Amino acid sequence: MEGRRGTWLLLLPLAAVLGFFLLWPLALVLWESLYLDGGFSLENYLTLFVRSLYRESLATSLLLSASTALLGTAIGLPLSYFVYKSGGRTKSFLLALTAVPLTFSGLVVGFAFIVLLGTSGFLTLILRELFGINPLEFSSFLFTWRGLVIAYLYFLIPRMILTMTAAWSNANWSLAEAALSLGAGPLTVLRRVIIPMLAPAILAGSSLLFAVSMGAFGTAFALTGIAVKILPLVIYTHVSELSADIAKADALAIILTLVTTGVIVAYERFFTSPSKA
Amino acid sequence: MAGVELRSVSKRYGKFYAVRNVSLKVEKGEFVSLVGPSGCGKTTTLRLIAGFIAPDGGEVLLDDVSMASVGVRNRQVGIVFQNYALFPNLTAFENVAFGLRTRKVPEEELRSRVEELLAMVGLSGRAAAWPRELSGGQQQRVALARALAIRPKVLLLDEPLSALDAKVRNSLRFEIRRIQRESGITTIYVTHDQEEALSISDRVALMNSGEMEQIGPPGEIYLHPANRFVADFVGVNNLLEGEYLGEGRFRWREHLLSVEDVPLEAGPAALMIRPERLVLAPSEEGADNRLTGTVTGRVFLGPLLRLAVDVEGEQFLVDLLNTETAAPSLDDRVSLTFSSSDARPVGNTGKIPG
C-alpha cells in the first residue's frame, strides 16, 4: 500500500502537466464545439460534413499527410540504414546533423523554401540560367499542396531517420545470419526476415510522420498563407479573420485530434494485440 | 576424414588478432568444444567456420573441401545462436521448415521431416506455437531442430545455453549431446563454461588471446594442463609459484616437493594441485609432500566440503567428501599431503595441439 501511494505521488507532476495543458484545454474546446446558443448541439460537426470547404480541407490534409508519410518513409528508410552502418563517430555526427532540422520553426522552413525554390529563389534562378525554365511556372507548384509535400519532407525525413536508426541498432542480426545459413538468398532474407523484423518500427515511424504532417502549421502558413485548404490553415482562418467562427474552429480541432490520435491508436492496437507479434 | 579442419587460420581487426594461427582438426561425427574466457577468439573461430567472416590467413575445410570460395549460404552448416534467433513471425513448424523451403523440398517430405525433428527435440505438440509462446529452453530446441533440418555437414553452437537458467541448462546440455550422438553429426560447441565443455565433449579446445592453448579429451585437459593458463582456467586449482628443478622435484619456499616428472625446463613454474587430491594427514609424521597450516574457512558444497587452509600465508583449497565424520573445524591445525603424481608443474608457455 505504501509503495502504491508512493507511485501515485511520483505520477502527480506528470498528471498535473497532462491535466492542465492537454486534457483541460481539450475539454474546453470540446465543450465550445458542442455548446450552441444555450444548448448542446452537433450542428457544428454536421456543417463540417456538409460544406465542401471542410470536406475538401480534410481530404487535402489526408492526402498531404499520406503522401509525406509514404515518401518520408521511402526516403528515410535507406538513409537511416546508411547512418546506422556508418558507425562510431560518423554515426553520432550524422545523427546530430539529422536532428538539426527538427529544431527549426515551421515558419523558418517555409521561408527557406521560398528563398530556395520561390519565383526568385536561388535554385529557380540557377535552373533558369541553365535550362531556360520559366521561374513563375516552375515555382508555382511550391505554393500548392504538392509543394507542401516537398517542404514537409525536409523535417519529416529526419524524424524517420532517427526512429529507424534506433530500430536498426536494436535489430537482431542473428535472424539474418540464421536465414543465410539455412540457404536463403539476399532477397528472401530481406522479404522474410528483415522487413518483418522492422515492420513495427517502419509503421511507428510512418504513423508519426502522418500525425506530424496532419498538424503542421507554420510551414504551410509561410508558404501558402491560407491558399491551400488544409485543416490547420482552415482552423487558423476561423480564429483570426473577420469571419471568425470559434465554434467551427473548435469542431475542426476535435476532428484533427481524432484523426491523428486514431492513427497512433490504430498502430498501437495492431502491434500490441496478442494475436500479432 | 575430417569434418572440419582449420589450417593456420588467422583473423585480424586492424592490428588486433582475434584469431591467430589456429589449427584444428575435427573428425567426422566428433563433438569438440571451443572454450575460453570472453574475447579469446572462440566465437570468431566459429564464425570463420560458418563463413560469416573470411580468414586473413589460412584455410577452412569442411569434409576435406576448402571453403575459401564458398559463402555461408552454400556451406550447409547448421548454426544455433545464443539468443535462439527464431523467426518471430513464423511458427515453430515454419521455423524448422525454413531451410527445407529454401531448398525447395517437396511439401510432403518437408512435413514428415519437420515432424520427425520436432519429435526428436521433444516438441511434437508445439508445432503451431509462435516463438514468443515458448520458453527459452523450448525455443532453443526449435533452433536446434531448425539447424539440423538441412542435414548440415557440421553443427555449430554458439553459447547455446548461456541465456537459460541453471536447471534447464543442465538437462538441455545432455539432450544436445544425445541428439548429436543419434544423428552422428560433426559438432563444434562454443562456451565460456569449462565445466559444460568438459562434461559433454569428445575433445576440448582451449583458447586464449586468439590462440589455441591445448586440444585434448576432457580428462587430459583436466589432469594434464599444458600450461598455467589451462591449469588456472579448468576447474578449481591450487597454483603454487615456485621453481621446477627437473626430474620431478619442485621447490616451493623452503619445501622440496616431489612432483610429477614432466618435460618442462627447470626454472620458475607453478605447481598445480587439485583440491580433491589434497589429503588431510593424520599426524605430523615427517613424510614427503607434507604442508602444515590452519583451517580458515569451511564451505558446504553438497557432496563436498571445501576447506580453506592457510599454509605460511598461502591459501590452499581442500575438497573432502562430506561423508567424512571428523572434518576439522575452523582454526584447527592440519597437515596436508599429496602424492607426487597429483602435483603437476606448469610453465607459462607451452601449448599442446590436438
3-state helix/strand/coil string of A224-237: HCCCCCCHHHHHHH
The reported pLDDT for the residue numbered A242 is 66
Amino acid at B237: N
- Distance between A175 CA and the closest CA of chain B, angstroms: 5
pLDDT in tens, B239-272: 999 999 988 899 998 899 999 998 888 889 999 9
Q: Are A277 and B102 a contacting pair at CB < 8 A?
A: no
Domains in chain B: ranges and CATH: 2-223 (3.40.50.300), 228-281+288-346 (2.40.50.100)
Q: What is the average pLDDT score of chain B?
A: 91
- Per the CB < 8 A criterion, the answer to whether B3 and B26 are in contact is yes
pLDDT in tens, A201-256: 898 899 999 999 998 888 888 888 878 889 898 888 888 866 678 888 898 999 99
C-alpha distance from residue B173 to each of A276, B234, B239 (Å): 32, 18, 30
Q: Are A182 and B150 a contacting pair at CB < 8 A?
A: yes
The reported pLDDT for the residue numbered B282 is 72
- Distance between A183 CA and the closest CA of chain B, angstroms: 4
Question: How many CB atoms within 10 Å of residue B192?
Answer: 18
For cell 509535400, name the residue: A149
pLDDT band of residue B325 (cuts 50, 70, 90) is: low
pLDDT band of residue A274 (cuts 50, 70, 90) is: very low
The percent helix, strand, coil of chain B (3-state, each to 5) is 30, 35, 35
pLDDT in tens, A75-90: 999 999 999 999 889 9
The radius of gyration of chain A from alpha carbons, rounded to an integer in Å, stands at: 23
Which residues lie closer than 8 Å to B247 by C-beta, 6 or more apart? B261
pLDDT band of residue B235 (cuts 50, 70, 90) is: confident
Whether the pTM exceeds 0.90: the reply is no
pLDDT band of residue A2 (cuts 50, 70, 90) is: low
* Among B250, B252, B257, B240, residue whose Cα is nearest residue B317: B240
Q: Out of A178, A188, A193, whose CB is closest to B81?
A: A178
Domains in chain A: ranges and CATH: 1-41 (no CATH), 42-272 (1.10.3720.10)
Q: Is pLDDT at A275 greater than 50 in this prediction? A: no
Flag whether residue B78 sits within 8 Å of chain A, measured between CB atoms.
Answer: yes
Burial class (CB in 10 A: 0-12, 13-18, 19+), A215: middle
Q: Are B52 and A179 a contacting pair at CB < 8 A?
A: no
The arithmetic mean of pLDDT across residues A113-120, rounded, is: 88
Q: Is pLDDT at B150 greater than 90 in this prediction? A: yes
pLDDT band of residue B65 (cuts 50, 70, 90) is: very high
Cell of A33: 464545439
pLDDT in tens, B281-307: 876 666 678 899 999 999 988 888 999
Q: What is the average pLDDT score of chain A?
A: 87
Burial class (CB in 10 A: 0-12, 13-18, 19+), B312: exposed
Closest residue in B to A183 (Cα–Cα): B73
Cell of B163: 541465456
Mapped onto helix, strand or coil, the DSSP state of residue A83 is helix
Flag whether residue A184 sits within 8 Å of chain B, measured between CB atoms.
Answer: yes
The arithmetic mean of pLDDT across residues A92-118, rounded, is: 89
Q: Are A174 and B81 a contacting pair at CB < 8 A?
A: yes
CA distance A178 to B77: 10
- Distance between B53 CA and the closest CA of chain A, angstroms: 11
Closest residue in B to A275 (Cα–Cα): B130
Q: Is pLDDT at B344 greater than 80 in this prediction? A: yes
The reported pLDDT for the residue numbered B209 is 92
DSSP 8-state secondary structure symbol assigned to residue B352: B
Q: Is pLDDT at A144 greater than 70 in this prediction? A: yes
CA distance B26 to B204: 11
The reported pLDDT for the residue numbered B173 is 92
Q: Are A181 and B132 a contacting pair at CB < 8 A?
A: no
Q: Is pLDDT at A276 greater than 50 in this prediction? A: no
Q: Which of B67, B75, B79 should one mutate to test binding to chain A, selecting the residue with the greatest count of A CBs within 10 A?
A: B79
H/E run at residue B172: helix B166-183
The arithmetic mean of pLDDT across residues B42-67, rounded, is: 95
- Per the CB < 8 A criterion, the answer to whether A36 and A168 are in contact is no
The arithmetic mean of pLDDT across residues B121-144, rounded, is: 94
Flag whether residue A187 sits within 8 Å of chain B, measured between CB atoms.
Answer: no
Flag whether residue A182 sits within 8 Å of chain B, measured between CB atoms.
Answer: yes
Flag whether residue A171 sits within 8 Å of chain B, measured between CB atoms.
Answer: no
Flag whether residue B130 sits within 8 Å of chain A, measured between CB atoms.
Answer: yes
The reported pLDDT for the residue numbered B329 is 86
Flag whether residue A188 sits within 8 Å of chain B, measured between CB atoms.
Answer: yes
* Among A171, A179, A277, residue whose Cα is nearest residue B143: A179
Question: How many CB atoms within 10 Å of residue B152?
Answer: 22
- Per the CB < 8 A criterion, the answer to whether A103 and A159 are in contact is no
- Distance between B88 CA and the closest CA of chain A, angstroms: 7
Cell of B49: 567456420
Q: Are A184 and B52 a contacting pair at CB < 8 A?
A: no
The reported pLDDT for the residue numbered B302 is 85
